[in-house]
Amino acid sequence: MSESLSTDILIVGGGVAGLWLNARLRRLGYSTLLADRGVLGGGQSVKSQGIIHGGTKYALSGALTGASEAISDMPRRWREALEGNGELDLRGVRLLSDAHYLWSPGTLTGNLTSFFASKAVRSRVGQVKGDQLPAALQHPRFKGKVYRLSELVLDVPSLIQRLAQLAGDGLVKADRIEPLYEGGELTGLVIDGRPIRAQRIVLTAGAGNAELLAALGLAQPAMQKRPLHMVIVKAATLKPLYAHCLGGGTKPRLTVTSHPAEDGEWVWYLGGDLAEAAGVARDEAAQISAAKKELAELVPWIDLAAAKWATLRIDRAEPAQSSLARPDNAFLAEAGRLLVGWPTKLALSPDFADRVEAALTRDGIAPQTHPALPDLPRPELTRPFWDGLL
């Protein structure tokens, strides 16, 4: 423990929240080091559906809620970053779709009629027909209605790759991370035996935050996990579709995103109500049967006889909320030099970085000069998770 290493901000966890924050802070002139014990992006981030929500789906409950308001600026901020004019230069990240769609398979129920009639929703969505429909829905047997949302869908592996590039040499693969206390105060972290001091330490380890907090002897902020049981289907007959299929309720019946497989075929990744409580209770075979039934009802013209199927269980990690409700914003808590949080959605990573930046500014934390860090082992980047499952 003789080396004296330091940086301005130490970040633990290289999902989209930590990587986005890291790139933002570096752009502001801070020196940073981000430590991850796994592969970058390999937690929830790569298993997300990659939708940069503007919040419209949360308006399904009738009125625009807090969630809808907080998130409504995110598509613009991401779009600017993708064009190279934003807070980060994300040129080169693969845009899978410039729009996400709301798709009502039949006649609208009363609930949905008032949803589309509301002024807030009308300003965000426009109906599409004919050859403007998503490719997978362009079929004479398709009878539903489709509305275009101004939301994006990103290829998450290429996003992680770009954010890792922006991290330069500030990444370290860490098997053991322990708190560094000096004079009874947390002053940094001991990463694989190397003490590293920092002005601030930010935990963005997703589901790993609870364990890191416990190691620091902290019970707050409490974390909740929301389990999901997603379905993956791959077939030569699938064309891209990015859409929430509406049922009668306040949550989408099915959310479909499409991801490119190595062999050029498309993989459909199915979430929404299918993946929530009832889906979590099903075993893999029953969950695949439920998904087959949904697709047979909703897109009967797609031949899935030769399709390959798999399921994926994954927890969403978020700050604890009453009755497992969705948090409205990115969440950040502070205790001295320690900051800890969850973006709660990939789309809200810029909001998470805003909160950290505001805390640094408020506390007068400015970039300082530090000796260069030694060569450190670099974490690997995530691969598309579906390549390993199908």
**Interface positions, 139-158, toward ligand FAD (CB under 6 A):** none
In degrees rounded to 5, what are phi and psi of residue 37?
-95, -10
**Which of 142, 150 has the CB closer to ligand FAD?**
150
Give the Cα separation of 250 and 350 in Å (integer). 26
Nearest residue (beta carbon) to ligand FAD: 208
Q: Which part of the chain contacts ligand FAD (CB under 6 A), choosing from 57-65, 77-85, 142-150, 342-350?
A: 342-350
- Out of 59, 259, 344, 376, the only residue in the binding site for ligand FAD (CB under 6 A) is 344
Q: Binding marks (x or -) toward ligand FAD, 37..76, rule CB under 6 A?
A: xx-x-xxxx-xxxxx-x-----------------------
Give the Cα separation of 259 and 157 in Å (integer). 11
Write down the least CB distance from residue 144 to ligand FAD, Å: 22
Write down the least CB distance from residue 378 to ligand FAD, Å: 13
Write down the least CB distance from residue 225 to ligand FAD, Å: 10
Q: Which part of the chain contacts ligand FAD (CB under 6 A), choosing from 113-121, 279-287, 288-296, 340-348?
A: 340-348
Give the Cα separation of 212 and 86 in Å (integer). 32
332 near ligand FAD, judged by CB under 6 A: no
Q: Which part of the chain contacts ligand FAD (CB under 6 A), choosing from 32-40, 57-65, 240-248, 281-289?
A: 32-40
**Which of 53, 124 has the CB closer to ligand FAD?**
53
196, HSE (Cβ side, Cα atoms, 13 Å): 32
- Nearest CA to 290 out of 343, 277, 186, 260 is that of 277
- Out of 230, 291, 302, 376, the only residue in the binding site for ligand FAD (CB under 6 A) is 230
191 near ligand FAD, judged by CB under 6 A: no
- Out of 5, 7, 8, 15, the only residue in the binding site for ligand FAD (CB under 6 A) is 15
**Which of 37, 145 has the CB closer to ligand FAD?**
37
381 near ligand FAD, judged by CB under 6 A: no
- Out of 73, 83, 211, 303, the only residue in the binding site for ligand FAD (CB under 6 A) is 211
What Å distances lie between residue 256 and 66, 100, 134, 216, 233, CA to CA?
Answer: 25, 10, 12, 40, 11
Count of residues near ligand FAD by CB under 6 A: 41
**Which of 5, 347 has the CB closer to ligand FAD?**
347
- Out of 9, 10, 17, 23, the only residue in the binding site for ligand FAD (CB under 6 A) is 17
Q: Binding marks (x or -) toward ligand FAD, 257..276, rule CB under 6 A?
A: --------------x-----
Binding residues for ligand FAD, rule: CB under 6 A, are: 12-18, 35-38, 40, 42-45, 47-51, 53, 174, 177, 204-206, 208, 211-212, 228, 230, 271, 314, 316, 342-347
